[in-house]
């Protein structure tokens, strides 16, 4: 087999995963033209069209689907060989692939990634900060940081590394102007800033009589938790967000928590990774560093 054929196969698999030649080129450190030429060469060798190309997206032909499944498995097997050899050397190498929720990842995973890459200079990292559900096995991801109740998936291993706690808060100026709600029922008379997510925004509170749900649309509705925080800081209204976003503001007093006795139970923050016979050094090293950083308490609750 020609040496460059592996490169052509890698370009094809990456283009299918990324959905475009441009994204694949950026991931592989190539030009868009080089990715396109790799796929043309593959199609020439196969004697069949592998991809349907439009100006908007790529789609697999029937022959392309068969080739993609086999070649993706071959590349994953090669990565597994690399991981096995790295285990023998005892040093993390290769490309570490991680996904985490957008705001949480930017605020609390990036600092750990910075230390991780400085500790292991032979590594590189591909990171996806996104709120969509990522299939680790299908997309070849090493680790996901997930928040909430785990799904039943026998292909994945999981470890809880922290807790997500929601807190209702507002700026001192808003509370001075509009008053402090004393019970969740008092929220009906307040301006709120709600999250737009395609479904009703629900604020949950634990009361002596059970779970109380506040479901009214906000005075201001935004599709970004970071923008909600900024809006609350200006005094527009109350927000209900995880303390990993508002923790510093609460400590500094730029935001003030209300209804604290009614906080709902926290949700687990978990490291999730595919179950393999051997845990690669790059996965083990990242989990160890994360636990080391957070074993005395998560930074947003300091």
Contact 166, 264 (CB under 8 A): yes
Same domain, 195 and 148: no
Predicted local distance difference test score (pLDDT) of residue 19? 84
The count of other CB atoms within 10 Å of the CB of residue 148 is 11
Same domain, 239 and 125: no
Same domain, 184 and 257: yes
Q: Which of 45, 77, 48 is nearest to 65 (CA)?
A: 48
**CA end-to-end span of the chain:** 57
DSSP 23-51: HHHHHHT--HHHHHHHHHHHHHHHTS--E
Same domain, 173 and 246: yes
User: For 2-27, what is the mean pLDDT?
Assistant: 82
Residue 271's alpha-carbon distances to 157, 187, 246, 292, in angstroms, are: 8, 35, 22, 14
Predicted local distance difference test score (pLDDT) of residue 194? 94
Name the more confident of 193 and 296. Answer: 193
Same domain, 185 and 221: yes
User: For 166-187, what is the mean pLDDT?
Assistant: 97
Angle (CA) 43 45 49, round 5° = 20
User: For 139-145, what is the mean pLDDT?
Assistant: 92
The count of other CB atoms within 10 Å of the CB of residue 4 is 10
Write the CATH number for 8: 1.10.10.10
Q: Is the pLDDT of residue 277 over 80?
A: no
Same domain, 46 and 95: no
Cα dihedral 115→116→117→122 (10° resolution):
140
Same domain, 198 and 231: yes
Same domain, 95 and 58: no
Same domain, 22 and 38: yes
Contact 41, 50 (CB under 8 A): no
Q: What percent of the chain has pLDDT over 90?
A: 51
pLDDT, mean over the chain: 88
pLDDT per residue as tens digits for the range 44-77? 888 888 888 776 678 888 888 988 888 888 887 7
Q: Which of 161, 208, 160 is nearest to 184 (CA)?
A: 208
pLDDT per residue as tens digits for the range 94-138? 899 999 999 999 999 999 999 999 999 989 999 999 988 888 888
Contact 250, 225 (CB under 8 A): no
Q: Which of 60, 74, 55 is nearest to 16 (CA)?
A: 60
Predicted local distance difference test score (pLDDT) of residue 100? 96
Same domain, 180 and 151: no
Name the more confident of 298 and 89. Answer: 298
Write the CATH number for 174: 3.40.190.10
Predicted local distance difference test score (pLDDT) of residue 84? 62
Predicted local distance difference test score (pLDDT) of residue 1? 46
Quote the domain boundaries for residue 145. 90-164+267-301
pLDDT per residue as tens digits for the range 177-228? 999 999 999 999 999 999 987 677 899 999 999 999 999 888 999 999 999 9
- Paired with 58 in beta bridges are 53
Q: Which of 255, 207, 210 is nearest to 229 (CA)?
A: 255
Same domain, 273 and 143: yes
pLDDT per residue as tens digits for the range 234-264? 999 999 999 999 999 999 999 999 999 999 9
Number of domains in the chain: 3
Q: What percent of the chain has pLDDT over 70?
A: 92
Start-end of H helices in the chain: 3-18, 21-28, 32-46, 62-89, 102-104, 110-119, 136-139, 172-178, 225-233, 243-252, 281-294
Same domain, 173 and 48: no
Q: Is the pLDDT of residue 162 over 60?
A: yes
Predicted local distance difference test score (pLDDT) of residue 11? 87
Look at residues 23, 56, 84 and tell me which one is the last residue of a structural domain: 84
């Amino acid at each position: 087999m020609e040496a460059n054929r592996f490169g052509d196969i890698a370009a094809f698999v990456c283009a299918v995963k990324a959905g475009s030649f441009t994204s694949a080129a950026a991931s592989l450190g190539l030009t868009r033209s080089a990715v396109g030429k790799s796929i043309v060469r593959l199609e020439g060798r196969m004697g069949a069209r592998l991809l349907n190309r439009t100006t908007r997206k790529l789609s697999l032909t029937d022959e392309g689907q068969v080739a993609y499944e086999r070649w993706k498995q071959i590349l994953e097997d090669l990565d597994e060989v690399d991981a096995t050899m790295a285990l023998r050397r005892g040093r993390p190498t290769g490309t570490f692939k991680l996904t985490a929720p957008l705001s949480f990842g930017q605020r609390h995973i990036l600092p750990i990634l910075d230390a991780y890459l400085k500790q292991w200079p032979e590594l590189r990292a591909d990171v996806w900060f996104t709120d969509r559900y990522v299939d680790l096995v299908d997309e070849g991801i090493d680790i996901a940081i997930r928040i909430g109740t785990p799904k039943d998936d026998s292909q994945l291993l999981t470890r809880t590394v922290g807790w997500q706690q929601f807190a209702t808060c507002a700026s001192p100026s808003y509370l001075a102007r509009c008053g402090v709600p004393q019970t969740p029922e008092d929220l009906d008379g307040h301006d709120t800033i709600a999250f737009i997510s395609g479904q009703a925004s629900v604020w949950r509170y634990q009361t002596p009589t059970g779970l109380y749900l506040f479901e009214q649309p906000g005075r201001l509705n935004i599709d970004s938790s970071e923008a909600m925080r900024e809006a609350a800081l200006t005094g527009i209204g109350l927000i209900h967000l995880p303390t990993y976003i508002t923790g510093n503001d609460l400590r500094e007093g730029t935001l003030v928590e209300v209804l604290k006795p009614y906080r709902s139970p926290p949700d687990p923050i978990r490291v999730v990774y595919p179950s393999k016979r051997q845990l690669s050094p790059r996965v083990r090293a990242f989990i160890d560093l994360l636990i080391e950083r957070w074993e005395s308490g998560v930074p947003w609750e300091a």
